Amino acid sequence: MSIYFRKEIYMKTFFNVIGYTIKKPDEFIQFSKRTWGKVIGYVFLLSLILSLPLIYQSIEIAQTFKKDSNEIIKKIPEFDIKDGKLNPKNYEEGFVYQTDSIVFTFDPDNKRTLSDIQQDQMGRALPIALMDKQIVLVLPQSSSATDVVDTKTFTFPYASIPKHDSFNKESLTKIVNSRVNINVFMSVIIVTSLFMMFGSFIFSTFFLTLLANISNKLTLVPLKFSETFKILVYASTLPVVAATILSFIFPTLPASSLVSGVTILLFFMIQNTIRPRKVK
């Protein structure tokens, strides 16, 4: 089966599910028999949709990232890496400098904590820090990506960077002004956010399945745990679309929590169509 044909199947399913959510909740029972390959593929599609706000923000940042990075580099003293530690020259004290796309911290003395750097997150600016032994990167604020996965902060020890002994202000300038490196940097952010979203989606759906399975037992609904999980995946389609649209308007909206809450309510509605009827 070609990739194009599989894409057509997923998109057809996507639009059918939205229709079922609005008009025919009883049709969701068919998804309990879907193969795991199709279910995981559909999860990936929904994860991609949830990632769109963060991808959009990353593209916006990329447009001004090079200019702002060069502005920041002018403020940084000459430095190199010695024994895995930042070694500045003609250095007086660290500083925090903010542009439209970056909140930059230069802190060889480790006076600031990871929490301080995380709190630098304002709007769509990207917090980046050169600390004593590591580089710190905080992903742009996108609640759909981070309200289930606790960490959006990534640390890169200097000792783990290839050829770290030659990492200095000059090499940093070359990296910033290389279009290839900027594209790679933004690609890493996008791919990372997508896999974060995928893991977040699997985790939240598993948790919802535990709750739904208890309800199934209490209401005598004849669904296995795996069947409930599959139905919940497809039932989350419309909530995912709505949460993604709202995330563009309200970036701090707890999108994953919203998706989970609406999805479990939809499942209870679907469950009512499966529940055995009492014989009068």
Q: CB neighbours of 230 closer than 8 A, spacing ≥ 6? A: 31, 32, 33, 34, 39
Stated pTM of the model = 0.69
Tell me phi and psi for residue 258, to 5 degrees. -65, -45
pLDDT for the residue numbered 181: 67
Give the pairing type, strands 153-157 and 134-138.
Answer: antiparallel
43: its two tokens: 């999860």
- SS3 (DSSP) at 128: strand
The pLDDT mean for the chain works out to 83
Tell me phi and psi for residue 92, to 5 degrees. -105, -60
Residues of the chain with pLDDT under 50: 1-5, 143, 145-146, 148-151, 279-280
Alpha helix ranges (H) inside the chain: 3-23, 36-73, 114-118, 143-146, 169-176, 179-219, 225-235, 237-249, 255-274
Nearest to 189 by CA among 68, 98, 63, 59: 59
pLDDT for the residue numbered 208: 95
